[in-house]
Amino acid sequence: MKKNNFVYIVVMMMMLQACASKPKIAVDPSSIKDVAKYEKDVEECRAVSLNYDSSDAVAKSAAVGAVGSLTAAVAVLATGGLYLLPAGAAVVGGTGAAVGGGVASSKQNAAQEKIWAACMVDRGYKAYTSD
């Protein structure tokens, strides 16, 4: 792989990581009887869902991703990919950490969406997540 292609891939992976979305739900409008109460319920349930924190899992996934990427970088170096020295190896490790952290963040968002939707259902709304 050419150096320019490698840099392009690394930059794209970092950009995708940065685009990680926040939790979202959909509520059936026909289940909303009082808009003011609905808006209050949305904010309260959202706050409840944001109490779910898996930051330990995010850190672990980032560490695993970084180690995996650095291992791959060492293998490339061993086979003659010298253009990775030394800054490229750091970029690869950082990208692995970002990807690993992104996977865990995605799981946290999914969990928060489920909690948020369940809270809304408990309050009488028809709420849905992307799962």
Residue 120's pLDDT band, with cuts at 50, 70 and 90, is very high
The model's pLDDT over 62-93, given as tens digits with 9 standing for 90+, comes to 555 556 555 665 555 566 555 555 555 555 55
Residue ranges of the domains in the chain?
31-128
Please state the rounded mean pLDDT for residues 3-17. Answer: 59
For 66, the enclosing helix (H) or strand (E) is helix 55-78
The model's pLDDT over 22-53, given as tens digits with 9 standing for 90+, comes to 789 999 999 999 999 999 999 999 999 999 87
Residue 106's pLDDT band, with cuts at 50, 70 and 90, is confident
Measured CA to CA, the distance from residue 45 to residue 35 in angstroms comes to 15
Measured CA to CA, the distance from residue 38 to residue 3 in angstroms comes to 53
The encoded tokens of residue 76 equal: 């490339």
> What's the pLDDT score for residue 53?
78
Q: Is residue 40 a contact partner of residue 78, using CB atoms and an 8 Å limit?
A: no
